[in-house]
Each structure stands twice: as C-alpha cells, then as structure tokens.
Amino acid sequence: MKKIINLETLIQFYKKAYFPMAESQEIDEIKFYKPKLRFIIPILNFHCPKKLLSEFKKTKYTFRINYNFPQVIEYCKNVKRKDKDTWINSIIINTYIELNKINKCHSVECYENENLIGGLYGVHLGSCFFGESMFSLKKNTSKFCLLYLLSILKKNNFKLLDSQFFNYHLLQFGAYEIKTESYEKKLEESLKVKSNFKDLKNFQESLSLIQSSNQRS
C-alpha cells in the first residue's frame, strides 16, 4: 500500500502556514516547515521582464492544466538542485497526486506538440496558491508556465501566491519577502475567499492579462 500524508491533516497544516518536505527522496520521512520569512509573488501587479514577454509572445508551445499531473511531479523530483538532494520523495508524490484528484492541487504544463517540456504544480485552498516546484526541459518553459499560472490566478481573483522560500530567479516577477506574522494575516484573509482554478479561454487571454499587469507594475 502506498504511503501518503493524511489529506485533511495536510490541508490544516497549510492553513496554519506550514508545508511538508522530505530530507531526500531516499528517506521515508516528512517534516513540516514554517520559515520566518515567506516569499510572495504579487498577482495583480506582477512584473514580466520585456525580453521574457517577447519570447512568450512568440512561442508556439501550448499550455494545459491538470492534464498529466503525475508526470509533472515526477519531472520536478528529478530536477538537479545545487548542493542538495530533492525534497520530493514517494510520500510527497503519492500525497499530491491524491490532492490533485480532489481538486486541491493543480499543475500547469507546457507542451511542444504532445511532448511535456515544462511545468509546475501547487496547492489550492480558498484564494491561495502555494507553489511547490517547477521544471524545464527547454529554455524558459518553467517561466512560461509561471506566467500562465499568474494569468489564471489573476483572472480568477486569487489573493495569494506563496513561493515559500526566497528564490533569486523570481525577483524579476516582483516577488518579495514578508515576515511570518504578515504572511499569516494575508493567509487568513485569503482563505476566506473562494476562487476557482479555471483555465483561460486561449493563449491571447494570457498575454492580455500579463500586459495589463506590466502596465500597473
């Protein structure tokens, strides 16, 4: 029988500002973390660098949500990280696949023809999206997925995009750190609002939402 974290327990931990990680993919143990600082990406006025936006406009890739969630998390597990092993073990994989089945976890996926070449996944509670991990098999495809995700969150009136730990590469999108106390207040308010994770009508809608954010940022 596959080991998983009890889903209701996991959801309650997220609501209290904790998230799970494994020490490595070989260790059959999960620990919950609550950093003193949280890294937030603004949704309404996120910033997209001009060069990346230009490349995003030209892309011939297609984007889907929740089409092949298990493959996305498997690719995320295999991402090579500097000086440390992956924090995604079999318990994490099995648990988040089950969360996806009950519509509490979503993936954004980038395809070239029918080949998955980039993606990300995260937990969805209320109007909060907790970004967990991402991967790229081709240049910028994880960033493209993040732009597509931000478009979805903006369209559906999400209030909080939590990126958990500081990440230098996310600064270009307007990400910033806040103290745990401020984060908990933002989290509490955002959990009170219910937002649906509905896909966009088309790629052009994503471009329009990104460009309107750039004008405001």
pLDDT at 91: 94
Domains and CATH numbers, the chain: 7-216 (3.40.630.70)
Contacts for 207 with CB less than 8 Å, ≥ 6 apart: 56, 57
pLDDT at 136: 96
Query: In the block, which residue shows the tokens 């994503």?
Result: 206
pLDDT at 84 over 70: no
Q: Any idea of the CA torsion for 89, 95, 99, 101, to the nearest 10 degrees? A: 100
Quick one: average pLDDT of 195-212? 94
pLDDT at 23: 80
In angstroms, the CA 188 to CA 1 distance is 35
pLDDT at 217 over 80: no
For the entire predicted model, the pTM comes to 0.94
30-75 per-position pLDDT tens digit = 999 999 999 999 999 899 999 999 999 999 999 999 999 999 999 9
113-127 per-position pLDDT tens digit = 999 999 999 999 999
12-40 per-position pLDDT tens digit = 999 999 999 988 777 788 999 999 999 99
Task: Give the residue ranges of DSSP H helices in 88-197.
Answer: 90-101, 141-155, 180-191
In angstroms, the CA 67 to CA 76 distance is 15
pLDDT at 82 over 70: no
pLDDT at 144: 97
pLDDT at 160: 98
pLDDT at 216 over 70: no
145-202 per-position pLDDT tens digit = 999 999 999 999 999 999 999 888 899 999 999 999 999 999 999 999 999 999 999 9
* Long-range contacts of residues 1-7, Cβ cutoff 8 Å, at least 24 apart: 2/90, 2/94, 3/28, 3/90, 3/91, 3/94, 4/91, 4/94, 4/95, 4/98, 5/30, 5/91, 5/95, 7/95, 7/98, 7/99, 7/102, 7/104
Q: How far is CA 145 from the centre of its chain?
A: 9
Q: CA-CA distances (angstroms) from residue 189 to 125, 155, 181, 201? A: 12, 19, 13, 28
pLDDT at 214 over 90: no
